[in-house]
């Protein structure tokens, strides 16, 4: 059994019973409850809904008089299952019966909960230690109360499913009965509390159903779009093309239309506001239409007659994760054709050196053979199932918002500054999101709804149409990367060079594989400024560079006459036994482990079945390792995805079924974006405004079978929402080469190969 101190990091985790200050509070306020009773399955649903009295234990735990336990889910939920999985960690250490557990979505409350942010595949990873200590500490207080009641040593007591036992005397007592006895128990900050051994887990590692499933399928209100409030108005906004700003708005027709209350323009962010990393870069002046209903407002918006004018070069200060930086926003109407020409030109120039091992220039100078390939990928739209929306009611004293947002803590300060209210008077209620993929880490929709409500002095629901959602940003950047490999006369790899760039950021992770495995290695990066709003997109940067890197490694292996998996394993063996450099950000053994596992599970060493073509890929990002083998056949000159075998090392798997679901979703999403995803621009205007022209994957194009395998270990859990997404791009490209004999260097693949156009 592991013992940990009750102090975590820089904050004292435990607080005395009456203390109500910040941090993760374990200040227990106990009220009488009773021993949990056995409840027949048919009565379980009724029992879970009908506690007569709740006792609040701490920020995370409440217990009803009938023994029902309510656990709070602190992080926003958009499909990654954190609303179920995070409470599972808490329930494991508390040692309660999952059948008697209810889950509630916590609203944004930084004084009670740390890091209420779902993104970067960090929810489980960052919540793991704190939630374990929270549950274990509560359990320890219950044990201490029972020990006092029975006058026995605390180390003679055990717990199971919400009950404390003393084996020697045969006594037992429920958590509810102990609540009032434990209210005066305090545990010193430095006292160690025992955590369960992984081998003793009963909840973590056992599949649990999504706690929202029934409400979702029965149409219960879960989303902000479901919210209705007396006196609520509906708002929509209109924005200019990128590189333009509003010059004038003729609203004479719109204002006279049925149900319209007002039309106006408003500034969302002040020009001198110091933005944070998730405040968007453009379109801070918006035109607004407000009315009684969505349909009426939509029609009035179409009646607006608007004039634009070009923006001037500008800049603003952004307080990012690594300090402040100045962001430049160039003037001009940008187009994809122009972008492609600029990126092609930049790819031929030297970039900023990100890492240099050995003497790569000399290695290439002395090479007998050099393999060089360039890869490109376009902007991508997020296209969440639920378009952007937000409810806001702003008064002189406070602002109340209901919003689908991944990162409430990153927008509350912006709201406070813009509305002129203390931050403690900004109340953000977290609703379930119909998808996020990074888009909802940006809180512009919260600011827009709030300033509209403040202006019209009424509650308002801001709604984007699908066209608004797709054309007002935020996009995955457009990228390019050139890879070069130097080979000697015996076909040995003696040098490796990657130069990556993009608009407005580069995609190169300089310290990832194959860095550390090659004596002479060079990584460079460059970026071009843009006024097109970009942002995080599922597995930022990795979503491009993984496919490019893994495609190049496959072609390099073929050039060297080696099996593609064996070639990768050779490099990883070098990185494990005799690594180059000290900043490699991956564990070579774990990386090799997923390749070995996928090699076994996919039957890689067996001959390909007639008409079936396989491609392999592996990548490390967000602290996790994923290897994939994709099998496809060709059907009327279009690829048919037969099977994907995936091997994943993400540490301890909290909820196996939903971990598998996330892997499956990432794989399907990756195939769709690799094959079809593309957003282009003409004079600042997105060329695709809805799904009639922006191609998404269809049901029949998803793999027939996805076979997911997890490496079993006792390593603390890491990311999973994003890691299965990037490598599938390379696996698909490599399989297509096996099927057609043609390598793919440009995404989407549907337009990169004429015979694939359908």
Sequence-distant (6+) residues with CB within 8 A of 454 are 394, 399, 419
Sequence-distant (6+) residues with CB within 8 A of 687 are 336, 679, 680, 681, 693
Residue bearing tokens 């889950």: 103
Contact assessment for residue 91 and residue 98, using Cβ atoms and an 8 Å cutoff = yes
Write down the pLDDT at residue 507: 98
Write down the pLDDT at residue 27: 28
How many CB atoms sit inside 10 A of residue 99's CB? Answer: 13
Burial tier of 635 (Cβ tally within 10 Å: 0-12, 13-18, 19+): exposed
Write down the pLDDT at residue 118: 87
Write down the pLDDT at residue 368: 97
Strand pairing report for 426-430 and 399-403: parallel
> What is the side-by-side strand order in the sheet with 352-357?
352-357, 521-527, 493-503, 478-487, 369-377
Residue bearing tokens 């122009």: 338
Burial tier of 679 (Cβ tally within 10 Å: 0-12, 13-18, 19+): buried
Write down the pLDDT at residue 207: 95
Taking 70 as the pLDDT cut, the residues of the chain under it are: 1-57, 63-65, 183, 753-758
Cα separation, 528 vs 346, in Å, equals 9
CATH architecture of the domain with range 475-756: 2-Layer Sandwich (3.30)
Q: What would the two tokens of residue 638 be?
A: 């279009």
Q: What would the two tokens of residue 439 be?
A: 């888009």
Cα separation, 703 vs 615, in Å, equals 14
CATH classification (class only), 224-315+388-463: alpha beta
Backbone angles phi, psi at 314, to 5 degrees: -145, 175
Count how many Cα atoms sit within 13 Å of the Cα of residue 243 in the half-sphere of its side chain. 14
Contact assessment for residue 18 and residue 156, using Cβ atoms and an 8 Å cutoff = no
Closest CA to 468 of 391, 536, 389: 389
Q: What would the two tokens of residue 463 be?
A: 């709604």
Burial tier of 156 (Cβ tally within 10 Å: 0-12, 13-18, 19+): middle
Cα separation, 233 vs 292, in Å, equals 5
Write down the pLDDT at residue 55: 62
Cα separation, 103 vs 105, in Å, equals 7
Cα separation, 352 vs 499, in Å, equals 9
pTM score, whole prediction: 0.91
Write down the pLDDT at residue 57: 66
Sequence-distant (6+) residues with CB within 8 A of 700 are none
Write down the pLDDT at residue 235: 98
Write down the pLDDT at residue 176: 81
Cα separation, 236 vs 389, in Å, equals 9
Where are the CATH 3.30.365.10 domain residues in the chain? 2-217, 224-315+388-463, 475-756
2-217: CATH, from 3.30.365.10, 3.40.50.880, 3.20.20.70, 1.10.286.10: 3.30.365.10
């Amino acid at each position: 059994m592991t013992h940990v101190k009750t102090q975590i990091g820089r904050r004292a985790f435990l607080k005395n019973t009456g203390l109500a200050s910040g941090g993760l509070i374990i200040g227990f306020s106990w009220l009488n409850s009773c021993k949990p009773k056995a409840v027949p399955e048919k009565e379980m649903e009724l029992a879970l809904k009908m506690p007569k009295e709740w006792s609040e234990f701490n920020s995370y735990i409440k217990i009803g008089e009938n023994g029902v336990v309510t656990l709070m889910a602190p992080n926003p939920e958009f499909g990654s299952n954190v609303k179920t999985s995070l409470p599972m960690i808490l329930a494991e250490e508390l040692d309660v019966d999952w059948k008697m557990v209810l889950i509630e979505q916590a609203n944004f409350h930084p004084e009670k909960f740390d890091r209420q942010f779902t993104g970067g595949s960090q929810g489980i990873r960052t919540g793991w230690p704190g939630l374990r200590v929270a549950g274990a500490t509560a359990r320890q207080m219950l044990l201490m109360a029972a020990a006092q009641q029975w006058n026995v040593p605390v180390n003679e007591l055990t717990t199971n499913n919400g009950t404390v036992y003393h084996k020697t005397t045969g006594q037992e007592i429920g958590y509810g009965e102990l609540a009032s006895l434990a209210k005066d128990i305090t545990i010193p900050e430095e006292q160690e509390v025992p955590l369960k051994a992984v081998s003793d887990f009963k909840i973590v590692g056992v599949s649990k159903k999504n706690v929202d499933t029934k409400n979702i399928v029965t149409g219960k209100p879960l989303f902000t779009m479901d919210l209705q409030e007396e006196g609520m108005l509906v708002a929509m906004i209109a924005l200019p093309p990128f590189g333009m700003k509003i010059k004038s708005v003729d609203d004479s027709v719109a204002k006279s239309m049925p149900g319209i209350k007002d039309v106006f323009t408003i500034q969302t962010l002040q020009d001198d506001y110091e933005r944070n990393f998730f405040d968007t870069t453009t379109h801070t002046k918006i035109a607004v239409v407000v009315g009684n209903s969505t349909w009426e407002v939509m029609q009035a918006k179409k009646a607006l007659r608007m004039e634009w004018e070009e923006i001037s070069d500008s800049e603003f200060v952004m307080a990012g994760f690594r300090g402040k930086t100045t962001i430049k926003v160039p003037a001009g109407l940008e187009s994809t054709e122009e972008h492609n020409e600029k990126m092609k030109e930049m790819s031929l120039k030297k970039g900023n050196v990100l890492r240099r091992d050995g003497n790569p220039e000399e290695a290439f100078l002395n090479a007998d053979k050099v393999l060089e390939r360039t890869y490109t990928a376009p902007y991508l739209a997020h296209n969440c199932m639920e378009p952007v929306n937000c409810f806001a009611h702003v008064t002189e004293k406070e602002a109340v918002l209901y919003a689908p947002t991944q990162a409430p803590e990153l927008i509350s300060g912006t709201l406070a500054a813009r509305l002129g209210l203390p931050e403690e008077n900004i109340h953000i209620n977290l609703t379930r999101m119909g998808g996020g993929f990074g888009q909802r880490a940006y809180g512009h929709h919260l600011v827009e709804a709030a300033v509209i409500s403040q202006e019209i002095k009424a509650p308002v629901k801001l709604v984007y149409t699908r066209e608004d959602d797709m054309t007002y940003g935020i996009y995955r950047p457009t990228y390019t990367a050139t890879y070069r490999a130097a080979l000697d006369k015996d076909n040995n790899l003696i040098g490796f060079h990657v130069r990556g760039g993009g608009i407005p950021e580069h995609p190169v992770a300089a310290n990832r594989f194959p860095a550390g495995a090659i004596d002479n290695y060079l990584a460079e990066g460059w970026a071009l400024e843009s006024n097109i709003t970009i942002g995080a997109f599922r597995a930022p940067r990795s979503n491009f560079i993984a496919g490019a890197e893994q495609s190049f490694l496959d072609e390099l292996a073929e050039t060297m006459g080696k099996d593609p998996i064996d070639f990768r394993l050779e490099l990883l063996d070098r990185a494990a036994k005799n690594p180059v450099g000290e900043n490699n950000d991956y564990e070579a053994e774990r990386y090799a482990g997923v390749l070995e596992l996928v090699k076994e599970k996919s039957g890689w060493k067996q001959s390909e079945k007639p008409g079936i073509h396989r491609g392999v890929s592996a990548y490390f990002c967000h602290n996790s390792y994923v290897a994939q083998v994709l099998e496809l056949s060709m059907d009327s000159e279009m690829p048919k995805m037969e099977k994907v075998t995936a091997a994943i090392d993400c540490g301890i798997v909290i909820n196996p079924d939903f971990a598998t679901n996330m892997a499956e979703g990432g794989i399907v999403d990756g195939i769709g974006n690799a094959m079809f995803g593309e957003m282009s621009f003409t004079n600042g205007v997105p060329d695709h405004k809805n799904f009639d022209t922006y191609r998404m994957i269809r049901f029949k194009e998803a793999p027939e079978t996805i076979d997911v395998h997890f490496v079993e270990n006792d390593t603390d859990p890491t990311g999973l929402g994003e890691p299965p997404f990037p490598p599938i791009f390379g696996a698909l490209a490599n399989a297509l080469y096996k099927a057609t004999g043609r390598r793919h260097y440009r995404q989407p693949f549907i337009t990169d190969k004429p015979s694939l156009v359908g």
